[in-house]
Amino acid sequence: MIRPALRRVALAALAVFTLALAPATASAAPKKSIWGPVAVDGVSQFPIYDDLGVNLFQLHVDWRSVAPTQPANPTDPADPAYRWPADLDLATAEGIRFGIDVLVLAMRTPPWANGDKGPQVPPTDPQAYAQFLQALATRYPTIHHFMVWGEPIRATNYAVTATEQRNYYVKKGNAKGTLKAFNARQRREAQGYAQLVDASYGRLKALSAANLIIGGNTTTSGSVDPFNWTRFMRLRSGKPPRMDLFGHNPFGTRGPDLRKPQLLVGTADFSDLDVFWPWVRKYQSRVGRNSKLKLFVSEYTAPTDVASFEFPYHVTRPLQATWLRDAWTITKQQKLYGLGWIGLYDLPVRADGQESRTGLIDAKGVRKPAYAAYKSLR
Amino acid sequence: MAAFSHRLLAPVLLGAALLLTASAPAGALAQEEGVTLDPGDPAAKEYSLPHAEARREASGSAGAPTQQGSADAELFGEGVSKDGEAKASGDGSSASGAADGTDASANPDASATTASAPAPGDDEVEAGGFSSTTVLLGGAALALLAAAGGGFTLRALRGPDQ
């Protein structure tokens, strides 16, 4: 009589133990994200994204093109100054049809917003950018992911004063491996970016609590290093800007593996995320701000076959697939918000004959091993 | 009980050996097989990304690849280290006060200085535990305990009528 009762108790204990372990392994799955065309020759690419199991499609919106002239009512998407791109209309419609969320990255300042200083120079008033995002979010209420600028640590994208290229390499006056901190000008530039992020957060959250604001948006290395950028990306008050996700694009010449040592001071590729993320949290998740901040790898890829005009390296097709799987393993292990692959197709050959084969599908329409690898990600 | 211990010992040792193998630092910094570094001016590329050779050049090491935990330590920015090292050495004594928002960087006009951030050994950074090795070891230990415990329980429950 005692033994069956004991067995039931033991089984119940085992079940409780198993359930107790479950949250560690079965928390919210990371987003499978991708960059790519909305349509090719008028044909929607969303069936392909659906086949791949994508659940977050990323899209660039050119503020300069959408608002070439100053809108009289900048928060009103119906203002006649706005020229909303057909791609965005189609992406949101197809997103609804296939159950794929859409993320927009908005950048490039129109002339009227910064005194015609160029697309990489932020607006004189950060609210001008935030108002644009508010109009966008109002027009497309199903979009809930908003990325504030892309890779602002690169001078081609954002007006940052470049640190001497290898300043943060050990050999160049940093014998102890220390980073030279931003100078006053660079700090002001990072502060200007922080204001864009915070202003966007205020307006987008007021529209919908479901809206997620993605700030930082650093990459492995740039005109300035991602560590200093993260440290000095703060408001005049000293507080970090409000955001939900910190974006990082950890391209690199090494396969993703957290056991590898940091490659160089100031740089953060995929294998360095265990160094970079604590740093981000230290500076961006503090003083009552961003307590639930998560890391989002918006862009990751590895070019194949031939020299790339984007990256100083290329890999074999099988290795591209391996790196993608390894990146996903880390994404899951470390509970990142998601992993974005850029992109679906190899880039078109440029006029100078150079190319960059970063896609899951080559120019002939052949699916690389990375296609199946992406599809199998769970 | 002694017999049970012996049976348990073998898989535990095997598991430990596997764990040690899996968690060994990737020492080889030579460019990985299947990766081709493209010659030419890096400035012509969108991204100027470091690679293993650049790292060796930067560290002044012309020979064998460096091992994590030796010369690599100096390759981290001040206050930046892998989690394991932070736990071993970090008492936060080098902190500049950044965590409370009082560091010099709050003043945009402050002159450039060498970054002296707090070591990530303080509470804020340690919370969150981003060490893959720690997670791996912890998970494996739990799995081993669960397996051993489950086997022991089932064995104990197996009665003469079965």
pLDDT tens profile A116-131: 999 999 999 999 999 9
CA distance B85 to A52: 39
Chain A contact present for B60, CB below 8 A: yes
Answer yes or no: is pLDDT of A295 > 80: yes
Q: Which of residues 232-261 of A touch B (CB under 8 A)?
A: 232, 234, 236, 238-239, 251-255, 257-261
- Is the ipTM higher than 0.90? The answer is no
Which among A180, A191, A310 has the least Cβ separation from residue B45? Answer: A310
What pLDDT shows up at residue A32? 98
Helix (H) or strand (E) holding A245: strand A245-249
A-B contacts at Cβ under 8 angstroms? 238
In the predicted model, is pLDDT for residue A248 greater than 60? yes
> Which pLDDT band, with edges at 50, 70 and 90, does A145 fall under?
very high
**B75, B103, B107, B111: best mutation site toward chain A, by most A Cβ within 10 Å?**
B75
Do A279 and B118 touch, CB atoms closer than 8 A? no
- For residue A178, what pLDDT band results from cuts at 50, 70 and 90? low
Which residues of A fall within a CB distance of 8 Å from B52? Answer: 253-254, 263
The enclosing H or E element of A35 equals strand A31-35
What is the total residue count of chain A? 378
> So what's the pLDDT on residue A300?
98
- CA separation for the pair A242, A202 (Å, rounded): 8
Q: What pLDDT shows up at residue A134?
A: 98
User: pLDDT for B76-105, tens place per residue?
Assistant: 333 334 443 332 222 333 223 333 333 333
pLDDT at A19 over 90: no
Tell me the one-letter amino acid at B112.
A
Q: Please report the pLDDT score of residue A226 as a whole number.
A: 94
Give the mean model confidence (pLDDT) for residues A354-378: 97
Residue type, A156: T
Smallest Cα distance from B10 to chain A, Å: 24
Q: In chain A, pLDDT over 90 holds for what percent of residues?
A: 84
Is 80 exceeded by the pLDDT of residue A1? no
- CB contact under 8 Å between B32 and A231, yes or no, is no
pLDDT at B66: 36
What type of residue sits at position A63? Answer: W
- The pLDDT of residue B47 is 87
* Sequence-separated contacts (24+) of A40-49 with Cβ below 8 Å: A44/A90, A44/A94, A45/A344, A46/A94, A46/A95, A46/A97, A46/A98, A46/A100, A47/A98, A48/A344, A49/A98, A49/A100, A49/A344
How is residue A89 written in tokens?
């209309």
Query: What value does the mean pLDDT take over residues A31-55?
Result: 98
* Interface list for B 4-43 with A (CB within 8 A): 23-26, 29, 31-38, 40, 42
* Higher per-residue confidence, A110 vs B47: A110
Please tell me the predicted confidence (pLDDT) of residue B43. Answer: 53
Determine the residue among A153, A225, A254 to mutate to test chain B binding: the one whose Cβ has the most chain B Cβ atoms within 10 Å.
Answer: A254
CA distance A105 to chain B (A): 18
**pLDDT per residue as tens digits for the range A48-60:** 999 999 999 999 9
pLDDT for residue A150: 98
CA of B60 to nearest chain A CA: how many angstroms apart? 7
Residues of chain A found within 8 Å of residue B128, distances taken between Cβ atoms? 277-278, 281
Is residue A378 packed enough to be buried (19+ CB in 10 Å), middle (13-18) or exposed (0-12)? exposed
Backbone Cα Rg of chain A:
22
Q: Which of A115, A292, A109 lies closest to A196, judged by CA? A: A109
Q: Determine how β-strand A294-300 pairs with β-strand A338-342.
A: parallel
The residue that leads in pLDDT, B137 or A250, is A250
Residues of chain B with pLDDT under 50: 1-7, 9, 12-14, 16-28, 61-136, 159-162
Structure tokens at A329: 């393993």
A299-357 per-position pLDDT tens digit: 999 999 999 999 999 999 999 999 999 999 999 999 999 999 999 999 999 999 999 99
Mean pLDDT of A68-87: 98
Q: Residues 6 or more apart from A355 whose CB is under 8 A from it?
A: A306, A308, A309, A346, A347, A348, A349
Instruction: Report whether pLDDT(A189) > 50.
Output: yes
Residues 6+ apart with CB under 8 A from A36: A45, A49, A57, A343, A344, A345, A359
